[in-house]
Amino acid sequence: MSDQVIIFDTTLRDGEQALRASLTVKEKLQIAFALQRLGVDVMEVGFPISSPGDFESVQTIAKEIKDSRVCALARALPKDIDAAAQALKVAEAFRIHTFISTSTIHVESKLKRSFDAVLEMGVNAVKYARNFTDDVEFSCEDAGRTPIDNLCRMVEEAIKAGATTINIPDTVGYTLPSEFGGIIQTLFKRVPNIDQAIISVHCHDDLGMSVANSITAVENGARQIECTVNGIGERAGNCSLEEVVMILHTRKQRMGLATNIRPVEISRTSQLVSQLCNMPIQANKAIVGANAFSHSSGIHQDGVLKAQNTYEIITPESVGLLTNKLNLTSRSGRHVIQHRMQALGYRDSDYDIEALYTSFLALADKKGQVFDYDLEALLFFSKVNDQPEYYKLENISVLSGSGLVATATVTMTIGDQPKIVEAATGNGPIDAAYQCLMRITGLDINMDNYHISAKGEGKDALGQVDIVATYKGQRFHGLGLSTDIIESSAKAMVHVMNHIHLAQAVAEQKKDRLNIDQV
């Protein structure tokens, strides 16, 4: 048996069908290119019979993708298979994926047919699809809850009819890993022609077992895993691509299995899917969550600085992240602070670690996370939080609406200068406010991340805006709170601007200190 596991990505079919708003053809194509770069063997990109839009996107992707096999879904009906074949025929290499339910509950309640009638429909669908391609995948929907005798019969007949891949979905995410592994094992024991097809699995995550089930399946002989980027998909989602791939990669010595995925592409593909699908990634999500490689505990931080593998089983670089993150919080030890200071260009003799660490702890208790610019500021200004605001937002008003160009008018003071009033237009009210603030201050700031959340309940809730922005290559964090989200957005930007001012003051002092040191 081959030691290669085929990665069948269904982000653009099972994943996309679960989104609140469908993706445009252009967005789907962007994701398809990212999946191709990532190295997926097969990408399932839609269900062409379901809408003209889906047909068009499958056809467009089929035309453009050259290095992965493009696949489309079809029920076990000739009209569905015709639509899939029509949309796919422009592809360099394509697969038709046809399916029918086989569990008793689906056969009786949904299809209202006998199992024998369903078996015949499945067989006919496979034979029909073979008229268009010799790469036909057949899925027994709800296989996880299908009586094993029926499942064995269906699989044997579908292979006889010409299916080259047989997919065993745990459609409702119900089976335990031991049960699911048992199903795959039984199929290998009891289906006489099983060696003539690749056995695939497609697991949903309703009980959080999709990845474990997929891994157990390959341990029992399956050689294709169906999955989605970030695990998006129906209800609780599908088996997550990055997780199964990194399990196979990290535990290669034990499992002896390989994929064609380039792990270094994982991070950016995940970000792209999250952004285009408007599906934020939970911070503690394995492999791609914002905290997946960040260490908060002082003991862990100290360990990672001594040897990365003390608390990291995979490196952030291997999935395309540049560095791990040591969050500077009140749990960080002196060693971590010294390490950060070194990275910022200071020698141990440039500062008194005890004094710095004491003021660091006081700031961390107030602020939660301490950033590099805070740390440097502590060195030069003993009371960072008590610094007077250099940039002060006095007033903001915004005019916006459908068909209107958003315009913001801002009144601000800078240091002890008289008030400045400025107006600017933008791509929406927040952008107009930011353009205005940048025009007044002359700071050219790049927004990396904008996050808004409600603080409190119901109509009394406050809008909290958290932004991360870059100025001349350095990253700054800003926070704004108000009942008016435009005002909280503006306050967050002014907060960033004040941090930039502080960092500039620090840079001046640092220059002076270095000059003094050099003399």
List residues binding Zn ion (CB under 5 A).
Answer: 14
Q: Tell me which residues in 74-103 interact with ligand KIV (CB under 6 A).
A: 99
**Minimum distance between the CB of residue 100 and ligand KIV, rounded to whole angstroms?**
9
At 118, which amino acid appears?
Answer: V
Task: Rank residues 14 and 302 by Cβ distance to ligand KIV and give the closer one.
Answer: 14
Q: Calculate the alpha carbon distances from 65 to 52, 293, 477 in Å.
A: 20, 32, 39
Task: Rank residues 168 and 337 by Cβ distance to ligand KIV and give the closer one.
Answer: 168
Q: Report the C-alpha gap between 173 and 37 in whole angstroms.
A: 29
Residue 141 interacts with, from ligand KIV, Zn ion, none (CB under 5-8 Å by kind): ligand KIV
- The helix-helix angle for 353-367 and 334-343 (nearest 10°) equals 100
* Residue of the chain from 9, 14, 302, 376 that contacts ligand KIV (CB under 6 A): 14
**Minimum distance between the CB of residue 386 and ligand KIV, rounded to whole angstroms?**
58
* Residue of the chain from 69, 106, 202, 285 that contacts ligand KIV (CB under 6 A): 202
At 121, which amino acid appears?
Answer: M
Task: Rank residues 14 and 376 by Cβ distance to ligand KIV and give the closer one.
Answer: 14
At 129, which amino acid appears?
Answer: A
**Minimum distance between the CB of residue 233 and Zn ion, rounded to whole angstroms?**
6
| Residue closest to Zn ion, measured at CB | 14
**Minimum distance between the CB of residue 383 and Zn ion, rounded to whole angstroms?**
57
Element (H, E) at 83: helix 78-88
Q: Which residue has 């260009």 as its token pair?
A: 345
Concatenated DSSP letters for 279-307?
-PPPTT-TTTSTTTTEE-SHHHHHHHHH-
Residue 139 interacts with, from Zn ion, ligand KIV, none (CB under 5-8 Å by kind): ligand KIV
For residue 296, what are its two tokens? 């908060």
Cα torsion 121, 124, 130, 134 to 10°: value is 60
Task: Rank residues 175 and 332 by Cβ distance to Zn ion and give the closer one.
Answer: 175
Residue 295 interacts with, from ligand KIV, Zn ion, none (CB under 5-8 Å by kind): none
Q: Tell me which residues in 155-184 interact with ligand KIV (CB under 6 A).
A: 167, 169, 171
Q: Report the C-alpha gap between 27 and 15 in whole angstroms.
A: 14
Task: Rank residues 74 and 503 by Cβ distance to ligand KIV and give the closer one.
Answer: 74
**Minimum distance between the CB of residue 165 and ligand KIV, rounded to whole angstroms?**
11
**Minimum distance between the CB of residue 183 and Zn ion, rounded to whole angstroms?**
16
Close Cβ partners of 52 (under 8 Å, ≥ 6 residues apart): none
Q: Report the C-alpha gap between 495 and 434 in whole angstroms.
A: 12
Q: Report the C-alpha gap between 218 and 202 in whole angstroms.
A: 12
Q: Give the 3-state secondary structure of 94-131.
A: EEEEEEEECCHHHHHHHHCCCHHHHHHHHHHHHHHHCC
* Residue of the chain from 9, 27, 54, 141 that contacts ligand KIV (CB under 6 A): 141
Residue 99 interacts with, from Zn ion, ligand KIV, none (CB under 5-8 Å by kind): ligand KIV
**Minimum distance between the CB of residue 140 and ligand KIV, rounded to whole angstroms?**
8
Task: Rank residues 143 and 194 by Cβ distance to ligand KIV and give the closer one.
Answer: 143
**Minimum distance between the CB of residue 82 and ligand KIV, rounded to whole angstroms?**
18
**Minimum distance between the CB of residue 75 and Zn ion, rounded to whole angstroms?**
13
At CA 111, angle to CA 107 and CA 112, rounded to 5? 85
42 in Cβ contact with 262 (< 8 Å): no
Task: Rank residues 18 and 93 by Cβ distance to ligand KIV and give the closer one.
Answer: 18
Q: Does 9 bind ligand KIV (CB under 6 A)?
A: no
Task: Rank residues 27 and 142 by Cβ distance to Zn ion and give the closer one.
Answer: 142
Residues lying near ligand KIV in the complex (CB under 6 A): 14, 99, 139, 141, 167, 169, 171, 202, 204
